[in-house]
């Protein structure tokens, strides 16, 4: 680059109009060349004239390129080749690919914006941005609605009409089983506790284990009946035991659905028997299935192919799982089938290979053979194309957070579940790194479960996941005397 030290270009007087507006481009160029000759001579002027001719048209070109770059930036926000992030719920609904009918139903920029707004909201579902929309083949051509999700992260690998409200039939019982498992965790129920069957519970039709009014059966055996035989009578018996009545239990079901961010769900009963205004979506089913799978003991029942009830009586009852995939697909261990004439054949299924678990949901399939075939195809696609990378096991220490003016001055942070990221096969796991980012100036009081930071995961410099980090304990405000002693201790190095 050639510089002319100490010379500043001032345009000739006749290149500026009296009203202060700039003269023509031609006059500016001539003035520029006149001043340049004093520094560079003719050769320098010729060279810079060529450069100037190239530079001046660049402004409109840059504006056009800026539009293209903006489009590329929008694309980059959706397409992050090869990586789908695991999730703890700071982001909106994620998806790697959709079926052709779902993609065709949503065309244009406006519809994409509306869909994004509809899927955002409370970060309860713990889902992370996914990749390559439209890259996944239509894995469930015959289903009215379908979704394929990574169980650990909540990342959606495939989706077809995933948010369409539809009758779920007995898949409703996924929420029933979830509330029972949560009651067991809280100590409100015991596995060996006998439950007395009401006349109402015994009156349920459809799939059942033929409970009699006044009969007693343990919580565990009732759960077997729900998980394996899809027993409507056992579902109501458990609902009545947990909440006092099925009506009150259904209220709990809908409250839990709202907490989980299930935006297209309304329950009317605990078993999925046909009822007006009883609906959910494939996406919402995946959410509650994922939550149920956090209770690892559930697969002891959903994953068993056959068992017996009343085995110590003269009339043992043979249970055979309605989900045949638990017998015929390696790694399948749940979750729940469903069928009514309105809902058609439905299934929320899960399978695990190594540390990688996926959830596949199909609604409105024409028959059991097609239902099982398409879920098998979804499983095969997930396990052949993706894997996951474990970051922390449940209970692993994440770090320490300092608390200002609290009875405790620090909180030891632990993983409340397994953290992992979903990776496209072929991605080098050594490229993945993570860091703990805590809120600045965390002050008491702190509630148990309060989000106090994030665990950010990166592929190189690109953030691919963001896990919320919650306080495992409550910290109340410290009293004045505690604060004085703590301050004195720091002053005299007593701590």
| Among the ranges given (125-129, 186-190, 326-330, 383-387), the one the predictor scored with the smallest mean pLDDT | 125-129
Cα–Cα distance for residue pair 245/431, rounded to 1 Å: 53
**Counts of helices then strands in the chain (DSSP H, E):** 14, 17
Alpha helix stretches (DSSP H) within 56-131: 58-78, 100-105, 108-119
Mean pLDDT of 135-144: 93
Name residue, tokens 């690892």.
296
Domain boundaries, the chain: 13-56, 169-391, 393-491
Cα–Cα distance for residue pair 416/153, rounded to 1 Å: 14
Among 20-24, 52-56, 367-371, name the most confident range: 367-371
The candidate with the shortest Cα–Cα distance to 146, out of 158, 136, 137, is 158
Q: Flag whether pLDDT at 273 surpasses 90.
A: yes
Mean pLDDT of 112-134: 42
pLDDT confidence tier of residue 481, bands split at 50, 70 and 90: confident
pLDDT confidence tier of residue 281, bands split at 50, 70 and 90: very high
When the candidates are 3.30.390.10, 3.40.710.10, 3.65.10.10, 2.40.10.10, the CATH number that belongs to 169-391 is 3.40.710.10
Cα–Cα distance for residue pair 434/425, rounded to 1 Å: 20
| Cβ density class 50-84: b for 16+ within 10 Å, e for less | eeeeeeeeeeeeeeeeeeeeeeeeeeeeeebeebb
Average pLDDT over the chain reads 79
pTM of the model: 0.71
Q: Flag whether pLDDT at 25 surpasses 90.
A: no
Q: Flag whether pLDDT at 80 surpasses 90.
A: no
| DSSP secondary structure code for residue 113 in this structure | H
Q: Flag whether pLDDT at 398 surpasses 50.
A: yes
- The pLDDT tens digits for 232-269 are 999 999 999 999 999 999 999 999 999 999 999 999 99
pLDDT confidence tier of residue 127, bands split at 50, 70 and 90: low
What amino acid positions are annotated as catalytic residues? Answer: 170, 173, 230
DSSP character string of 351-363: EEETTEEEEEEEE
pLDDT of residue 182: 98
Reading the block at residue 348, the tokens are: 């929320």
Q: What percentage of residues in the chain have a pLDDT greater than 90?
A: 61
Q: Flag whether pLDDT at 31 surpasses 90.
A: no
pLDDT of residue 105: 38
When the candidates are 3.40.50.720, 1.10.167.10, 3.40.50.10190, 2.60.410.10, the CATH number that belongs to 393-491 is 2.60.410.10
Q: Flag whether pLDDT at 103 surpasses 60.
A: no
């Amino acid at each position: 680059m050639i510089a002319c030290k100490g010379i500043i270009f001032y345009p000739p007087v006749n290149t500026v109009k009296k009203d202060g507006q700039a003269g023509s481009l031609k006059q500016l160029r001539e003035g520029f060349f006149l001043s340049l000759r004093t520094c560079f001579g003719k050769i320098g002027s010729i060279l810079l004239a060529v450069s100037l001719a190239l530079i001046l048209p660049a402004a409109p070109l840059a504006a056009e390129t800026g539009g293209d770059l903006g489009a590329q930036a929008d694309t980059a926000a959706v397409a992050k080749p090869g990586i789908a992030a695991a999730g703890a719920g700071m982001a909106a609904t994620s998806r790697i690919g959709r079926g052709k009918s779902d993609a065709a139903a949503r065309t244009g920029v406006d519809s994409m914006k509306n869909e994004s707004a509809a899927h955002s909201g409370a970060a309860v579902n713990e889902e992370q941005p996914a990749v390559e929309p439209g890259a996944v083949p239509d894995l469930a051509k015959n289903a009215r609605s379908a979704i394929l999700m990574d169980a650990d992260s909540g990342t959606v690998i495939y989706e077809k009409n995933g948010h369409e409200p539809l009758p779920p039939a007995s898949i409703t019982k996924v929420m029933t089983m979830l509330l029972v498992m949560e009651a067991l965790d809280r100590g409100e129920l015991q596995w060996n506790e006998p439950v007395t069957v009401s006349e109402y519970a015994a009156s349920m039709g459809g799939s059942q284990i033929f409970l009699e009014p006044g009969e007693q059966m343990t919580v565990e055996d009732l759960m077997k009946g729900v998980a394996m035989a899809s027993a409507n009578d056992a579902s109501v018996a458990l609902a009545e035991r947990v909440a006092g009545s099925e009506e009150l239990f259904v209220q709990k079901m809908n409250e839990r659905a709202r907490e989980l961010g299930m935006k297209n769900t309304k329950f009317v009963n605990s078993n999925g028997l046909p009822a007006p205004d009883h609906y959910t979506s494939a996406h919402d089913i995946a959410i509650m299935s994922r939550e149920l799978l956090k209770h690892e003991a559930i697969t002891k029942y959903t994953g068993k192919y056959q068992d017996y009830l009343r085995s110590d009586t003269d009339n043992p009852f043979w249970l055979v799982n309605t989900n045949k995939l638990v017998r015929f697909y390696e790694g399948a261990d749940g979750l729940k089938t469903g069928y009514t004439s309105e809902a058609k054949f439905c299934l929320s299924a899960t399978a695990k290979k190594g540390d990688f678990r996926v959830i596949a949901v199909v609604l409105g399939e024409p028959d059991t053979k097609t239902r099982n075939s398409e879920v098998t195809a979804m499983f095969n696609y997930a396990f052949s194309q993706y894997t996951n990378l474990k970051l922390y096991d449940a209970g692993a220490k994440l770090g320490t957070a300092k608390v200002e003016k609290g009875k405790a001055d620090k909180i030891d942070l632990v993983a409340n579940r397994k953290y992992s990221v979903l990776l496209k096969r072929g991605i080098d796991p050594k490229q993945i790194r993570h860091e703990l980012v805590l809120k600045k100036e965390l002050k008491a009081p702190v509630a148990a479960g309060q989000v106090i930071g994030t665990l950010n995961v990166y592929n190189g410099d690109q953030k691919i996941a963001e896990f919320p980090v919650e306080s495992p304990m409550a910290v109340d405000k410290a009293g004045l005397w505690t604060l004085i002693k703590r301050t004195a201790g720091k002053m005299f190095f007593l701590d």
